[in-house]
Amino acid sequence: LYHPHKCFGFGLSDCEGCEHLWSSLKFLIHILLHVSGVHHHQHLFVLENQIHHLDEKLSVNFSQWLSKKWALCQQKKVVAEEALGQLEVDEGIL
């Protein structure tokens, strides 16, 4: 039996991951409803391929997001170090 709260790392705390997945798959509902139950394996094939596609897309988007966040953190680090340098306080005290 499938339950999103029992799948480790799948939106356990706020169900955001699960909600995002279902939202990304909802366009398939209309398509798959018109295929009879005899084609259960085709349903699974379509869902598996779509989930694989979403996984690849999210991996690319995540790497871009992480890269932007890293660059922003580096900029903030430089600003913070400059501000600390102007305080004229011994580094050992900080």
Domain identity same for 25 and 64: no
Burial class (CB in 10 A: 0-12, 13-18, 19+), 58: middle
Could you tell me the residue range of the domain that residue 57 belongs to? Answer: 40-87
Shared-domain flag, residues 28 and 44:
no
What per-residue confidence (pLDDT) applies to 38? 67
Residue 93 resides in a domain: no
Q: Which pLDDT score is estimated for 76? A: 95
Residue 24 contacts residue 56 (beta carbons within 8 Å): no
Give the pLDDT confidence score for residue 87 in this predicted structure.
Answer: 86
If one counts the domains in the chain, the total is: 2
Whole-number pLDDT of residue 90: 80
Find the DSSP H helices in the chain: 16-25, 27-33, 40-86
* Whole-number pLDDT of residue 53: 92
Q: Give the C-alpha distances (Å, rounded to integers) separating 28 from 5, 18, 85.
A: 23, 16, 57
Identify the segments of the chain with pLDDT beneath 70: 1-17, 36-38
Residue 32 · residue 45 · CB < 8 Å: no
Judgement on whether residues 55 and 83 belong to the same structural domain of the protein: yes
pLDDT at 39: 78
The pLDDT value given to residue 84: 87
- Residue 69 lies inside a defined structural domain of this protein: yes
Q: Is residue 92 part of a domain?
A: no
- pLDDT of 49 reads 92
